[in-house]
Amino acid sequence: MSVITIEGPIAAGKTSLTELLSTRLNSTPFYEPVSDNPVLPLFYQGNKAVAAGKWKTNPYAFLLQIFFLNRRFKMIKQAFAEANNVLDRSIYTDALFCKMNYERGNMTKVEWETYQELLANMLEELPNAAHKKAPDLMIYIDVSYETMLHRIKLRGRDYELPAQDPSLESYYQDLLERYRSFKKGYQTSPLLVLDGDRYDFVHQPAQRDAVLRQIYTKLARLGQLSDQEHEHLLEELTN
């Protein structure tokens, strides 16, 4: 019984891995609020307007961050309470996006400071609200810029394509650098880094099984799987 969070840049494969793991581990998936997010397309339009010099800041940046923060806080409280689940991204990387928006001029200083205070209050309250301090494992999917762009094109959201908005190229490059810094400094829970360039766990069964073996072994070493459970899961891969 464990709480696993999946992290990584845009289009790294977080949702696919969440679905795969929740099925294999018989746990509950919690998905990032994208399909039902009315602010996200507006945010991309706002970034485009800022890059073109039409607006000084993006009026949707702060709104988007609060939308995500509210959903992620609710998700992780529920996940910690149920204690057997997989989260498609979590509250722990939320500030990465907000700080980037502030430093790129999409958000005002007052908005950034307000967000920081709110996030700090939420994280302070989380152990009391959910009776758990941290995930049992964070899985980080590491991908290059080329792989990220390839997968962005595959999922076909026009507002995410640099061809539609050239300013997204520098935005994505910046995002990758910030994720790399996050990965190096993360200490909240055990961390497993997967090579998302090497392993296509969505389309290649052999590579999918290789990734699952890494995850099962890490969970077993952390005491999140018994020897019997670990052996059973590995046997499933050979059948």
pLDDT score for 120: 94
88 belongs to the catalytic site: yes
pLDDT at residue 1 in the model? 64
Whose structure tokens read 């400094």?
Answer: 185
Model pLDDT, residue 35 = 66
**Which one of 88, 136, 142, 165 is the catalytic residue?**
88
The answer to whether the annotation marks 16 as part of a ligand binding site is: yes
- In this prediction, residue 160 carries a pLDDT of 85
Residue 51 annotated as binding? Answer: no
160 is in an annotated binding site: yes
DSSP single-letter state for residue 159: G
33 is in an annotated binding site: no
Tally of residues, the chain: 239
CA distances from 152 to 90, 149, 162 (A): 20, 5, 10
Query: Domains (ranges, CATH) in the chain?
Result: 3-238 (3.40.50.300)
Digitized pLDDT (tens) for each residue of the chain, 239 residues in all = 689 999 999 989 999 999 999 999 999 999 876 667 888 889 888 878 888 888 888 889 999 999 999 989 988 888 888 778 999 988 999 999 999 989 988 889 999 999 999 999 998 888 776 667 789 999 999 999 999 999 998 888 887 888 888 888 888 999 999 999 999 999 999 999 999 999 999 889 999 999 999 999 999 999 999 999 999 999 998 76
- Given this model, what pLDDT does residue 157 score? 82
- The torsion angle over the Cα atoms of residues 39, 44, 45 and 46, rounded to 10 degrees, is 80
In terms of Cα–Cα distance, which of 171, 232, 20 is closest to 6? 20
Measured distance CA(13)–CA(151) in Å, rounded: 8
Helices (H) and strands (E) in the chain, counts: 9, 5
The model carries a pTM of 0.89
94-103 and 61-82 are packed helices; what angle lies between their axes, rounded to 10 degrees? 170
Report whether 10 belongs to an annotated binding site.
Answer: yes
Strand partners, 195: 142
The predicted structure's pLDDT at residue 129: 66
Is 153 annotated as contributing to ligand binding? yes
